[in-house]
Amino acid sequence: MSKLPILKETNLASIIYFIRGEKIILDTDLAKLYDVETRVLKQAVRRNPDRFPKDFMFELTDEEIDGLVSQDVIPSKQIFGGARPFAFTEQGIAMLSSVLNSPIAIQVNIAILRTFVKLRQLLIDHKDLAEKIEKLEQRYDEQFRIIFTALQQMLQEESKPRPKIGFKQKEK
């Protein structure tokens, strides 16, 4: 794939986040991959606003940034240097190759797009598995219902106080 070690699919998959129903990569992570400063990347994007509609790139809200910090996705807000980060979708990342036209940018875009394709395939595979499980549940629903009912009864019985067992000495 690439001679750059950071471009391994496992590394790339770890910087893809799910925000607003989209798989995205943050501008800070992309800047590292492209070997440019984050401000340079943002500047290139701002100079080409027509190339980055809202479904290609969006700015994170304070709540979304707080969510990333609270989930330990990023260590703190300080990583963004006081600016709100841009979140790039798959299409936005593809568009970056036309804005950041360098050999590294081309390599990075190819690797990222391949990773997005593999992630999409994994989601499709898991969707098929979920559908199969749902069909099994529907098919054996009555048998499972009996088991679940029995388990619920056992749990209810355990919650009731039991009489103490063992040697009891008569009080005088």
- Per-residue pLDDT tens over the stretch 74-110: 666 666 667 889 999 988 988 887 788 777 777 877 8
Q: How many structural domains are present in the chain?
A: 2
Whether 152 maps to a domain, the answer reads yes
| Cα–Cα dist 25/130, whole Å | 27
Whether 172 maps to a domain, the answer reads no
Q: Do 112 and 134 fall into the same domain? A: no
Angle between helices 27-34 and 103-139 (to 10 degrees): 130
Q: Do 52 and 97 fall into the same domain? A: yes
Q: Which amino acid is at 23?
A: K
Q: Which residue has the higher pLDDT, 73 or 114?
A: 114
Kindly write down the DSSP assignment for every residue of 89-142, as one continuous string: -HHHHHHHHHHS-SHHHHHHHHHHHHHHHHHHHHHHHHHHHHHHHHHHHHHTHH
Whether 135 maps to a domain, the answer reads yes
> Domain span at residue 144?
130-158
End-to-end CA distance of the chain: 87
Q: Which residue has the higher pLDDT, 32 or 97?
A: 32
| Cα–Cα dist 155/136, whole Å | 25
Q: Which residue has the higher pLDDT, 129 or 24?
A: 24
| Cα–Cα dist 76/96, whole Å | 26
| Cα–Cα dist 40/31, whole Å | 8
**Can you give the pLDDT at residue 151?**
65
Q: Do 115 and 151 fall into the same domain? A: no
Q: Do 137 and 73 fall into the same domain? A: no
